[in-house]
């Protein structure tokens, strides 16, 4: 744990207000990296990114610590610290690829099996009678403290003590099930590449925005108006064929629509908006896709799967998924005022190609740094980052529908335009930062 | 054979509209069935089943043009100005009807959100003859760093 003086987190986070230093103070950022990103389950990648033995994918588990996800000869997908047991050099430099034989450090040629164990040290006789023990695990590429996957989604954690992945996800696990169940074969796979988007603001802004349903009609008004006014000039047949005409206008949905979609929060900061309905609920259903779904699940179950229609699901703090669009965004902080978002698309196994086409279209319209939604969102986060430098008011408020949340055993539910998502996130934030066991929904 | 100077003059004209930027004039250089593409990966062949930074047909170009000047488009409050430098222009293909595939190297300095940024790319234009000049049937912008984490960009390159 970093040697940073402890703070009184009660003075920084109240049930309805946050202190501005949460977004601007580099020391708080460092504490977040060790206490939130160092304890929570962090999304690493999907098993389909490493289909064969020796296939790997590299990333960071927080702002700095390099890790590699690699499939072993035993078909197990592991997550290892990407650090040579010798002098500490990062072993795997490329973002993804395949290793034949063994992982090999570029510095002194130490090599490792796909499970991270040390295979060979060059000119090993120099270590004879020195006390060096090649079998000591400290000289291997070490596994993360815990690694687990759920329906192909691989998570790892630096903590030995955090609860298991399934318990940690709690009721939010239903959204992973819904994403995968939308595939006629019940499985998804990464497809269609990745978009990386640099954000010059604090990493928490994007998480706060996911279920912030008071912003779309303001921030995205210009796009909705531009799209609707131009599409209205097209002949009706041409307009009907435009999938953008399904994707863009719901961003301008009314307060009432968003209120009705509801927000549901869970322990450890997870939440989603929608469920019964969402801005993705009125997408047309490709008849070939529907036929494949009915053939796999039957009509009733198929309708159930469609009916669970969420908008954004957050697995706090590193992953947000869109079940109905088969798209995920992976968050990685860099510094107190900088982070990167990776957007990945998924193919529904057994579904026609049109489904992936829509996913890809969605991602490039909405999630691209050169898209038509992301830059407006980022612009308002940037303004918050700048405005919060002002000491005129030390606080950010989130009172909406405070006191009206409905508390159940494993979740809290509230109105879609409430700040329930903020309450959920910052209960978890405080729990992690205080290193208490109270990261839950109901611990006020 | 089309005279290289004619091609150069056309590319410079397109660049001058983007530099200001004047998207109303710029878009008129494109055919109705045109598309504008910034791939997200090196040697990308598929814009439909693989993500791109931008893949706009004329309809999306029209929407973007309207959005660009909308008073409530917060990401467009910051001034956006560009300077295109175009070189290494080469004719890749010329058909008997005068349709051309042109490649050029372009360095574009963009002033946006209080900073200057540099984009470097190979541009591939498909041009068709039009009243002594050209219309653009397609433009592909292959950034030297398509896989990098990109910052917000609200203007075409």
pLDDT in tens, A109-146: 999 999 999 999 999 999 999 999 999 999 999 999 99
Q: Which residues on chain B are in Cβ contact (under 8 Å) with A380?
A: 74
pLDDT of A239 above 90: no
B74: nearest CA in chain A? Answer: A376
| Interchain contact, B154 vs A193, CB within 8 Å | no
Residue A1 has pLDDT above 50, yes or no: no
Confidence at residue A368, expressed as pLDDT on a 0 to 100 scale: 98
State the average pLDDT for chain A. 94
0.90 surpassed by pTM: yes
A193 reaches B (C-beta below 8 A)? yes
pLDDT at A255: 93
Does the CB of A196 have a partner CB in chain B at under 8 Å? yes
Q: Is A370 on the interface with B (CB under 8 A)?
A: yes
Which parts of chain B sit beneath pLDDT 70? Answer: none
Subunit contact A372:B63, Cβ cutoff 8 A: yes
B chain contacts of residue A197, beta-carbon cutoff 8 Å: 149-150, 152
**Has residue A444 got a pLDDT over 60?**
no
- The stretch A167-190 carries a mean pLDDT of 98
Q: How confident is the model at residue A443 (pLDDT cuts 50, 70, 90)?
A: very low
A positions 84-103 inside 8 Å of B (CB): 95
- Counting other chains too, the contacts that B109-115 makes at CB distance below 8 Å and 24 or more residues apart are B109/B82, B109/B83, B110/B80, B110/B81, B110/B82, B110/B153, B110/B155, B110/B157, B111/B79, B111/B80, B111/B81, B111/B82, B112/B78, B112/B79, B112/B80, B112/B152, B112/B153, B112/B154, B112/B155, B113/A382, B113/B78, B113/B151, B113/B152, B114/B78
**What token pair was written down for A6?**
């402890």
Residue of B nearest to A367 (CA): B53
CB distance A200–B67 less than 8 Å? no
Note the pLDDT tens digit of each residue in A310-334.
999 999 999 999 999 999 999 999 9
For residue B77, which residues of chain A lie inside 8 Å, CB to CB?
379
Residues of A in contact with B53 (CB under 8 A): 195, 364, 368-371
CB atoms B75 and A378 under 8 Å:
yes
Distance of CA A377 to the CA centre of its chain: 17
Confirm if A345 and A361 have CB atoms less than 8 A apart.
Answer: no
Contact flag A198-B151 (C-beta cutoff 8 Å): yes
Q: Which three-class secondary structure state does DSSP give residue A166?
A: helix
**Interchain contact, A364 vs B53, CB within 8 Å:** yes
């Amino acid at each position: 744990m970093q040697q940073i003086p402890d703070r009184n987190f009660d003075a920084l986070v109240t049930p309805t207000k946050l202190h501005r230093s949460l977004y601007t103070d580099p020391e708080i950022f460092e504490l977040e990296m060790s206490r939130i990103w160092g304890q929570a389950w962090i999304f690493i990648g999907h098993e389909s990114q490493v289909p064969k033995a020796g296939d790997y994918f590299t990333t960071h588990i927080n702002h700095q610590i390099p890790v590699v996800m690699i499939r072993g000869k035993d078909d197990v997908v592991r997550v290892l610290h990407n650090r040579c047991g010798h002098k500490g050099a990062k072993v795997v430099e490329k973002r993804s690829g395949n290793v034949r034989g063994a992982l090999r450090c570029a510095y002194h040629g130490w090599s490792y099996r796909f499970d991270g164990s040390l295979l060979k040290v060059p000119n090993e006789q120099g270590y004879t009678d020195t006390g060096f023990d090649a079998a000591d695990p400290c000289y291997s590429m070490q596994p993360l403290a815990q690694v687990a996957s759920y329906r192909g989604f691989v998570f790892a954690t630096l903590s030995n003590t955090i609860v298991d992945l399934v318990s940690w996800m709690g009721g939010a696990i239903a959204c992973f099930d819904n994403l995968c169940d939308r595939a006629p074969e019940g499985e998804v796979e990464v497809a269609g590449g990745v978009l990386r988007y640099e954000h010059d603001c604090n990493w928490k802004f994007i998480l706060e925005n996911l279920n912030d349903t008071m912003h779309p009609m303001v921030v995205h008004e210009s796009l909705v108006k531009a799209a609707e006014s131009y599409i209205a000039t097209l002949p009706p047949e041409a307009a009907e064929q435009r999938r953008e005409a399904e994707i863009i206008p719901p961003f301008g949905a009314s307060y009432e629509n968003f209120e009705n979609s509801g927000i549901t929060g869970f322990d450890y900061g997870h939440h989603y908006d929608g469920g019964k309905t969402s801005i993705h609920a009125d997408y047309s259903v490709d008849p070939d896709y529907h036929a494949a779904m009915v053939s796999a699940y039957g009509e009733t179950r198929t309708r159930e799967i469609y009916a669970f229609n969420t908008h954004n699901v957050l697995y706090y703090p590193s992953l947000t998924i869109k079940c109905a669009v088969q798209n995920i965004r992976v968050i990685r902080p860099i510094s107190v005022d900088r982070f990167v978002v990776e957007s990945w698309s998924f193919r529904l196994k057994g579904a026609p190609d049109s489904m992936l086409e829509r996913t890809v279209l969605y991602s490039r319209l909405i999630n691209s740094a050169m898209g038509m939604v992301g830059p407006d969102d980022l612009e308002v986060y940037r303004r918050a980052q700048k405005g919060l430098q002002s000491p005129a008011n030390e606080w950010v408020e989130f009172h909406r529908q405070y006191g009206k949340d409905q508390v159940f055993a494993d979740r809290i539910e509230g109105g879609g335009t409430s700040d329930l998502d903020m309450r959920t996130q910052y209960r978890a934030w405080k729990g992690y930062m205080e290193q208490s066991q109270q990261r839950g929904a109901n611990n006020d | 054979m089309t005279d290289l100077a004619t091609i150069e003059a056309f590319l410079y004209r397109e660049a001058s509209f983007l530099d200001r930027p004047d998207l109303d004039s710029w878009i008129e250089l494109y055919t109705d069935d045109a598309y504008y593409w910034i791939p997200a990966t090196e040697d990308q062949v598929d814009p439909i089943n693989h993500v791109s930074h931008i893949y706009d047909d004329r309809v999306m170009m029209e929407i973007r043009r309207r959005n660009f000047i909308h008073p409530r488009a917060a990401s467009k409050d910051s001034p956006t100005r560009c300077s295109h430098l175009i070189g290494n222009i080469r004719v890749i293909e010329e058909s008997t009807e005068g349709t051309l595939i042109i490649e050029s190297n372009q360095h574009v300095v963009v002033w946006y959100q209080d900073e200057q940024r540099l984009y470097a790319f190979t541009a591939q234009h498909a041009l068709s003859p039009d009243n002594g000049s050209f219309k653009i049937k397609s433009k592909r912008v292959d950034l030297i760093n398509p896989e990098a984490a990109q910052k917000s960009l609200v203007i075409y390159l």
